[in-house]
Amino acid sequence: MQSFDQTLPILITGGSGYLASWIVKYLVEAGYYVRTTVRNRQDERKIAHLKRIAAAGPGRLEFYEADLMRHGDFNNPMRGCEIVIHTASPFLIGKIKDPQRQLVDPALEGTKNVLYSAGETPSVKRVVMTSSAVAVYAEAREILDQPSGAFDERNWNLISDLNYDPYGYSKTLAEKEAWIIANQQRQWDLICINPTFLFGPTLSGRGDNVSVSTILQLMNGELRLGAPQLYFGVADVRDAAQAHLLAAFTPEANGRYLICAETMSILDIAAVMRARFDENFKLPKRPLSNWLLYLIGPWVGFSRRFLRGNLGYAPQFDVSRSIEELGLSYHPVEETMVDMVESLR
Ligand SMILES: NC(=O)c1ccc[n+]([C@@H]2O[C@H](COP(=O)([O-])OP(=O)(O)OC[C@H]3O[C@@H](n4cnc5c(N)ncnc54)[C@H](OP(=O)(O)O)[C@@H]3O)[C@@H](O)[C@H]2O)c1
């Protein structure tokens, strides 16, 4: 069982991200000495909000430059840390030109680079890594094969590849590699957090994050004619951030933790938004017919294979480990969506 010195620095990789910014905020607000890596310390658009968080204190925040693809970049920021929280990884969906270069290489090589640095830094005792529910399953239809009716931490994505769902593939490869590296040594232990689709307020206001751009699309009326009947797990970005901290500080924490508050469709999310914001946005009210989607899918970014594996199936998730072992409590999704829309307006 691990015990940690709360005065030592804690490293968060990719602090500028949607999720990582919340982890940084909670740690600084709790008075910790926090270090974060960013790709460019001069890029105010990406880090101004973190500087404001640092200025409000009471904790301390230091920035280090590091790229996932550069071996050794994480050695310096990791020096003296017992806890490393590795969140940095590209999250891209849709039209990707070069999935190997844009997704797989940074996810996989980045994980190796961070974990090799941990191995070269004797102070490191625990690494908490942001994996994803997409490393647990690939297609919602797989839910029919689950004897309990729900996915849990024993499931792995066995389907995605470089051409079919390259993001899911990149997260699965990275998490698998992390467990291989972790099991070859005894200096530090590994805990993986596997969140479903995250929503909730953004601290940076950046629109280039997939969670944020998905809700902006809804708010901008891009789906007003109808929404595909796609279902996914939804969780609050603040709860996912807390899950990382509970995993970091709970000595007995171990293994993987799925994070999900509820399974929802795009129409369910639109209904929650409409209930609070009435007709402010041109939200979809009806499902897009499946035959139409099969017809136009390939031109709007949904392959027929993806539609066959996902349309109309509602994945369920057993998150009892996150509640019972980490003590995580979940925001109701109504609060998540309302707070997100408020932050984007
Ligand atoms: N949002 C979700 O729904 C969700 C759900 C499950 C899991 N996750 C996981 O959560 C983590 C954070 O996702 P997010 O939604 O917060 O995405 P995000 O806002 O796009 O953040 C991604 C972070 O990774 C950094 N990054 C990307 N490529 C990099 C590279 N080559 N070198 C160094 N840093 C690099 C980005 O840096 P820049 O700021 O410089 O771009 C950014 O800080 C990812 O591991 C993602 O897979 C997200």
> In this structure, which residue's CA is closest to atom 7 in ligand 1?
132
Ligand 1 atom nearest to CA at 167: 47
| pTM of the predicted structure, to 2 decimals | 0.97
Ligand 1 atom nearest to CA at 40: 40
CA distances from 205 to 88, 228, 303, 327 (A): 18, 27, 31, 29
Mean pLDDT by 10 residues, the chain (345 residues): 81 98 97 97 96 96 98 97 98 90 98 98 98 98 98 98 96 98 98 98 92 94 92 98 98 98 96 88 91 82 91 97 98 97 92
The torsion angles phi and psi of 189, rounded to 5 degrees, stand at: -105, 160
The torsion angles phi and psi of 10, rounded to 5 degrees, stand at: -120, 130
Find out whether the beta carbon of 200 lies less than 6 Å from any atom of ligand 1: no
| Options 171, 176, 282, 285, the catalytic residue | 171
The torsion angles phi and psi of 175, rounded to 5 degrees, stand at: -70, -40
The label of the residue with tokens 């291989």 reads: 180
Find out whether the beta carbon of 261 lies less than 6 Å from any atom of ligand 1: no
Find out whether the beta carbon of 114 lies less than 6 Å from any atom of ligand 1: no
Find out whether the beta carbon of 67 lies less than 6 Å from any atom of ligand 1: yes
CA distances from 231 to 312, 316, 327 (A): 7, 10, 26
CA-angle at 256, arms to 251 and 126, nearest 5°: 40
How far away, in angstroms, is 275 Cα from ligand 1 center? 31
The torsion angles phi and psi of 257, rounded to 5 degrees, stand at: -135, 115
Query: What is the pLDDT at residue 1?
Result: 55
Closest CA to 114 of 132, 130, 101, 98: 130
Q: Are 93 and 167 in contact (CB under 8 A)?
A: yes
Alpha helices in 230-332 (DSSP H): 237-249, 266-277, 290-296, 304-310, 320-324
> In this structure, which residue's CA is closest to atom 2 in ligand 1?
198
Q: Which amino acid would we find at residue 166?
A: P
Find out whether the beta carbon of 46 lies less than 6 Å from any atom of ligand 1: yes
Radius of gyration over every alpha carbon of the chain, rounded to an integer in angstroms: 20
Q: Are 325 and 250 in contact (CB under 8 A)?
A: yes
Instruction: Say whether 171 is catalytic.
Output: yes
Ligand 1 atom nearest to CA at 134: 6
Structural domains of the chain in order of their starting residue, each with its CATH number: 10-344 (3.40.50.720)
